[in-house]
Chains A and B, each alone.
Chain A
């Protein structure tokens, strides 16, 4: 069995670390070996944040080698674009949030926010799911659940983890009063991905 390599990319404060944890837990509950990696630190203050999850029978390094990403989860549009070249050609899936958070250079009028995101992602990804996941979460009642909507979409493409293990992992990881919201968010994500 070959490893499944997932990259998560977004902006500090979007719940990336939590999402990485949920994926790892779901993999573990499914009897797989799993290693994850979060790049945090300075970047927590609205900077770029990214992490990786690798799962399979036996995983050595938590880092995904360049060009070997199976699934890219972009929590923010520009951050999704940033990692496009890391995707495995043809067989990969990019699930990217259309929602925009402007970096300082764009805010201050020094650079433009990329307008070719969808096109660029299509160039590198075997399949692209490009939606405003934040808006979907706001409609469900909490913008903070956007990461779980994304996760739901992701779950469809991780063949080695059965649906119930994902749900079990979410229940274990989120505070009790948000369990229902997050279950809904997850189900919505799955629907969007199919």
Chain B
């Protein structure tokens, strides 16, 4: 009997790469694909894997490995591909000898992303074939198949996966690893140096290999036709396939494993047989538009939402409108009235005191991407702009210039950036900021150095190594100092009063002042000290501590007191002491009996 296991989509991708004899896997952590590389570490004897400093570097490391003859995988979230778009567009011109796969995690519905871009567009833009798995078994199989086709057609390929598939688990049949070694690197500028005149012929190479693959798509076994005898045909891929099967198991369906290029000839022939072709796909009408470009009549987006996930109930709704289903079976569980629960900084999070200080200081704050992005949520609401990784430094500069012209040159402006983001793409921003200003403009940058990329679950950054006692450490402070900044302070934000003074003073100074906060991530480094407790006889119920928004804090009724007083759930408190420091009457103290 073959061996089976229950794996998530992400784990299956890693497993597929292992079985395919993969050699190098790189990534930048980003939801929903983080787990791919985390799983790869299980195969560390066979596969070199790394979380690179950003997606561009990850891709470049991958390009080198692929040119050197190793099967290569590079993974990132959808917006990550934007960061590596520059090398990607030139790389895909080169005819590769070793299999190369770019994994992009798209996020229909934006469960954990800043936008909903559809990377199938980018795949086509970069002339890459695109694979779109429907469950974990597909994910594993498509990695193996994709790498084979990559070598057969000498093309880098894309595996487009969505959040739902990344995190869904289902049974996967396991195979053995087959060692795979491509040819050694042989210098050949016409293959590896993307400059004219070499690039001229590659425009034809790219066109031809997509045409050949389009031909091949017609009998590619991962494009599956299921015939049930209906007079309409549904064309779909990814999770939509299964969500469709849930509501409509008896209609003919063409499940695409490769969504670009499409099996055009086959679909053309099929379209003669059916009264209607219906395309079901999430986000953009990608397949639909491809079909229409080739003169194939079909319907799609006008019946299914252009945004969000296409759950069974959404698909059912569209199919009712289309007359494929007679009437709706699924209940409408109307909007719920239960109090919303949004994300918040963890108990003992080192960002909390910083945001408490910034909120009280009422300054204009420019955010960046990381846990601290939550500073834009209630009850903080201190971030006034938040766009993409590393963008705070550029935005703050532009805004400073505008504020000064508008006569607001006395108003402070503060930017925040984490250490992960600093290494990802904050460095050029810091360089630019230093180089382009007169030195008179008042800007404060706070580097929230918690020694990890916390939002994605605690992957390493250049600053993690001093916490983990491993590797070669890099210091944010040394780097910034080398760039020529001299107004730099390291601050222990758990010393609330001193941190407050340092930050507030810095916002009043001319020039760029840099504050580096030094407490590590409470979650990643599992910080847990003796909890604090409230003495209700001292507490005056002013809610100053509550305003810090630490999860264990809440107002409650104590016996013998009329007024509600603060309380701390000892099961959740990690003992950072911030609430105790902001309490004006000293009602919060570390518990005595334990320890």
Question: Chain A: residues with CB nearer than 8 A to chain B?
Answer: 11-13, 20-21, 24-25, 28, 33-48, 59-63, 65-67, 78-79, 81-82, 85-86, 101-109, 111-114, 134, 138, 143
**Cβ 8 A contact of B312, one of A65, A101, A102, A105:** A65
Q: How far is the CB of A34 from chain B (nearest CB, A)?
A: 7
Instruction: Name the residue of chain A whose CB is nearest to the CB of B380.
Output: A104
The answer to whether B56 has its CB under 8 Å from any CB of chain A is no
Partner of B6, one of A21, A38, A44: A21
In the complex, B364 has a CB within 8 A of chain A: no
Whether B32 pairs with A36 at a CB distance below 8 angstroms is no
Contact B170 A61 (CB under 8 A): no
Pick the most buried of A21, A46, A66, A102: most chain B CB atoms within 10 A of its CB: A46
B binding-site residues for A, Cβ under 8 Å: 4, 6, 31-32, 111-112, 135, 163-164, 167-171, 239, 242-243, 245-246, 249, 311-313, 330-334, 336, 338-346, 371, 374, 377-379, 455, 457, 543, 546-547, 549, 551, 553-555, 569, 571-572
Could you name 22 residue pairs across A and B whose Cβ atoms are closer than 8 Å?
A11-B341, A21-B6, A33-B171, A35-B169, A36-B169, A46-B341, A46-B345, A47-B342, A59-B170, A61-B242, A61-B243, A62-B242, A63-B312, A65-B246, A78-B341, A85-B336, A103-B342, A105-B340, A105-B378, A106-B339, A114-B338, A143-B571
Report the Cα distance A35→B312, complex, angstroms.
Answer: 15
Instruction: Select which of B163, B243, B249, B345 is within 8 A of A45 by beta carbon.
Output: B345
- Interface-centre pick from A24, A81, A104, A138 (highest chain B CB count, 10 A): A104
Judge whether B331 and A47 touch: CB under 8 Å: no
How many A-B contacts are there with CB distance less than 8 Å? 158
If A78-B338, A107-B553 touch, does A28 touch B343 (CB 8 Å cutoff)? no
B169 near A45 with CB under 8 A, answer: no
Q: Which residues of A contact B549 (CB under 8 A)?
A: 104, 107-108
Distance A138 CA – B343 CA, assembled complex (angstroms): 25
By secondary structure, the B interface counts as loop
Q: Nearest-CB distance from B591 to chain A (Å)?
A: 15
Query: With the chains together, A73 CA to B460 CA distance in Å?
Result: 34
A40 to B245, CA, bound (A): 25
Chain A residues with Cβ under 8 A from B242's Cβ? 60-62
A interface SS class = mixed
Is there an interface contact between A42 and B112, defined as CB atoms closer than 8 Å?
A: yes
Nearest CB to that of B136 among chain A residues? A35
Which residues of A lie under 8 Å from residue B344 when comparing CB positions?
A: 45-47, 104
Q: Which residues of B contact A106 (CB under 8 A)?
A: 339, 554
Interface centre among A25, A59, A62, A114, by most chain B C-beta atoms within 10 angstroms, is: A62
Central interface residue in B330, B339, B345, by most chain A CB within 10 Å: B339
Q: Would A60 and B245 count as touching, CB distance under 8 A?
A: yes
Q: Most B CB atoms within 10 A — which of A61, A81, A134?
A: A61
A42–B342 Cα distance when bound, in Å, is 9
Q: Which residues of B contact A107 (CB under 8 A)?
A: 546, 549, 551, 553-554
| A44 and B343 within 8 A (CB) | yes
- A49: shortest Cβ distance to chain B, in Å? 9
Task: Check B332 against A61 for contact (C-beta < 8 Å).
Answer: no
Q: How far, in whole Å, are A11 and B225 apart by their CA atoms in the complex?
A: 42
Q: A46-B343, A62-B170 given; name 18 further pairs at CB < 8 Å.
A: A20-B169, A41-B112, A42-B31, A44-B457, A45-B344, A60-B249, A61-B245, A61-B246, A62-B169, A67-B331, A82-B338, A85-B334, A105-B378, A107-B546, A108-B378, A108-B546, A111-B339, A138-B571
Q: How far is the CB of A5 from chain B (nearest CB, A)?
A: 11
